């Protein structure tokens, strides 16, 4: 098949989402290199993302392009040998086994604290904000932390485990605002060092550990933006670990990105360049994991807020880029911009969701009161 025919084929697919090659609207992609088309047909969404990073095409509004393409499920019409290989690997291998647990810390969270400090809010919260009554990123993240604390019915002196504590912003907030004793775990050395510094003088312990290495008992367990790294072969074990660590009258809050349909596939470009070995759970996969271990007290979906959060991160990242550029380089800029904006599109399209689940070990006496 000639490149001309390949271009025509891609063009017809894009037209299903009202996207025109070399069009004049903000979401229309502009092609700089015709090698794009065989690359996309051979490697699917991985080839599309790699071609963007290589400068073979551009788009003024990547977020809106992604929104339209994902809503029309165009990405599902590209099948590649790379995607097939990754799918088979995910089925045959436990990509998130303990010996590989720290890969995500090394490859993503250890990229550089300067990068994340420039992009995130002042507490360095790297998860979806809660925008119900917020005017900006700082307010949205504080509102999310208050929402979490209230859903967990935090009381002074409670012992809380923060699974995937990041740079310690949540632990610091709960220790200061709600007088909690917090143990935070992360698989990132750089996160841990900064978290210990930020939480100095507070009843906060930061450990570099995998969740399968934790011991002790806790009144509350919190996991924000970490379950995406657990992997479908480990969902049930994660819930067993949490159940064994939680006091009989305790509560756990699970905050995770999710998708509408069950799958064991990784998103090829995201898995290779942003979050290695990561995958998104479906409602069925989550509920199967905690069945007969926990009682589901509340399930809150506010995925549209992640669109706003990602767009706010992108604005901050692009504004800070002149200072970051000497260290990270132009290729990284294109990788990171593609990541942030296509992720925003995935939430805007409704393909991705953001869930907060509240779980108890045996039901809350008198009933649980849902908060929004």
Kindly state whether residues 239 and 198 are assigned to the same domain: yes
Listed residues 79, 111, 144: the one ending a domain = 79
Kindly state whether residues 108 and 73 are assigned to the same domain: no
Q: Please calculate the CA angle 370-371-372 and round it to the nearest 5 degrees.
A: 130
Listed residues 79, 114, 139: the one ending a domain = 79
215 domain-assigned: yes
Give the residue from 315, 352, 353 showing the smallest Cα distance to 336. Answer: 315
59 domain-assigned: yes
Kindly state whether residues 210 and 356 are assigned to the same domain: yes
Kindly state whether residues 153 and 220 are assigned to the same domain: yes
Start-to-end Cα distance in the chain? 54
Q: For residue 247, what pLDDT is reported?
A: 97
Measured CA to CA, the distance from residue 318 to residue 19 in angstroms comes to 25
Kindly state whether residues 244 and 178 are assigned to the same domain: yes
Residue 84 in 3-state DSSP? helix
Annotation marks residue 199 as catalytic? no
H helices within the chain, ranges in order? Answer: 3-15, 36-53, 62-71, 81-92, 103-104, 113-119, 137-151, 169-178, 189-198, 235-245, 268-273, 283-290, 304-348
Kindly state whether residues 249 and 213 are assigned to the same domain: yes
Could you say which DSSP state residue 78 is in?
-
- The active-site residue out of 128, 165, 199, 343 is 343
Kindly state whether residues 319 and 176 are assigned to the same domain: yes
Number of structural domains, the chain? Answer: 2
pLDDT in tens, the chain (372 residues): 676 788 888 888 888 999 999 999 999 999 999 999 999 988 889 999 999 999 999 999 999 999 999 999 887 776 655 655 565 555 555 555 565 556 666 778 888 899 999 999 999 999 999 999 999 999 999 999 999 999 999 999 999 999 999 999 999 999 999 999 999 999 999 999 999 999 999 999 999 999 999 999 999 999 999 999 999 999 999 999 999 999 999 999 999 999 999 987 778 899 889 988 888 999 999 999 999 999 999 999 999 999 999 999 999 999 999 999 999 999 999 999 999 999 999 999 999 999 999 999 999 999 999 999
Kindly state whether residues 297 and 173 are assigned to the same domain: yes
Listed residues 47, 79, 111: the one ending a domain = 79
Q: Which long-range contacts (CB under 8 A, 24 or more apart) does 23-30 make?
A: 26/59, 26/60, 26/61, 26/64, 27/59, 27/60, 27/61, 27/64, 27/65, 27/67, 27/68, 28/59, 28/65, 29/57, 29/58, 29/59, 29/65, 30/57, 30/58, 30/59
Q: How far is CA 91 from the centre of its chain?
A: 21
Measured CA to CA, the distance from residue 113 to residue 52 in angstroms comes to 26
Measured CA to CA, the distance from residue 162 to residue 170 in angstroms comes to 8
Kindly state whether residues 132 and 190 are assigned to the same domain: yes
Residue 288 tokens read as 């199967």
What does the chain come to in residues?
372
Kindly state whether residues 47 and 141 are assigned to the same domain: no
Q: For residue 13, what pLDDT is reported?
A: 87
Kindly state whether residues 159 and 301 are assigned to the same domain: yes
- Residue 105 maps to which CATH number? 3.40.50.150
**Parent domain of 316:** 101-323+350-360
44 domain-assigned: yes
Give the burial string for 321-335 (b: 16+ CB within 10 Å, else e): beebeeebeeebbbb
Measured CA to CA, the distance from residue 119 to residue 225 in angstroms comes to 17
334 domain-assigned: no
38 domain-assigned: yes
337 domain-assigned: no
Kindly state whether residues 112 and 73 are assigned to the same domain: no
95 domain-assigned: no
283 domain-assigned: yes
């Amino acid at each position: 098949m000639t490149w001309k025919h390949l271009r025509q084929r891609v063009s017809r697919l894009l037209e299903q989402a009202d996207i025109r090659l070399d069009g004049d609207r903000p979401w229309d992609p502009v092609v700089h290199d015709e090698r794009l088309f065989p690359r996309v047909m051979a490697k699917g969404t991985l080839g599309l993302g790699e071609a963007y990073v290589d400068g073979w095409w551009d788009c003024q509004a990547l977020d809106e392009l992604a929104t339209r393409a994902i809503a029309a499920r165009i990405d599902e019409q590209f099948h590649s040998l790379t995607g097939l290989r990754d799918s088979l690997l995910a089925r045959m291998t436990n990509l998130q086994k303990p010996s590989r647990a720290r890969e995500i810390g090394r490859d993503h969270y250890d990229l550089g604290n300067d990068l994340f400090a420039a992009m995130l809010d002042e507490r360095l919260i790297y998860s979806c904000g809660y925008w119900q009554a917020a005017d900006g990123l700082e307010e949205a993240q504080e509102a999310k932390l208050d929402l979490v604390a209230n859903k967990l019915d935090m009381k002074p002196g409670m012992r809380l485990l923060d699974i995937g504590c990041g740079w310690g912003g949540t632990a610091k907030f709960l220790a200061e605002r709600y007088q909690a004793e917090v143990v935070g775990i992360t698989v990132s050395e750089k996160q841990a060092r900064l978290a210990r510094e930020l939480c100095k003088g507070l009843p906060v312990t930061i450990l570099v550990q995998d969740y399968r290495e934790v011991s002790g008992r806790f009144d509350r367990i919190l996991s924000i933006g970490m379950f995406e790294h657990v992997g479908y072969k480990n969902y049930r074990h994660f819930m067993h670990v949490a159940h064994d660590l939680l006091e009989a009258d305790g509560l756990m809050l699970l905050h995770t990105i999710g998708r509408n349909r069950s799958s064991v596939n990784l998103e090829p470009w995201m898995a290779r360049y942003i979050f290695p070995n990561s995958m998104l759970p479906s409602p069925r996969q989550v509920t199967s994991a905690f069945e007969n271990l926990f009682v589901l007290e509340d399930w809150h979906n506010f995925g549209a807020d992640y669109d706003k959060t990602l767009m706010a991160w992108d604005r901050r990242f692009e504004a800070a880029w002149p200072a970051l550029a000497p260290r990270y380089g132009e290729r990284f800029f294109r990788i990171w911009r593609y990541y942030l904006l296509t992720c925003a599109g995935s939430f805007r399209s409704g393909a991705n969701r953001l869930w907060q689940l509240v779980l108890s070990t045996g039901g809350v006496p008198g009933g649980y009161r849902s908060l929004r």
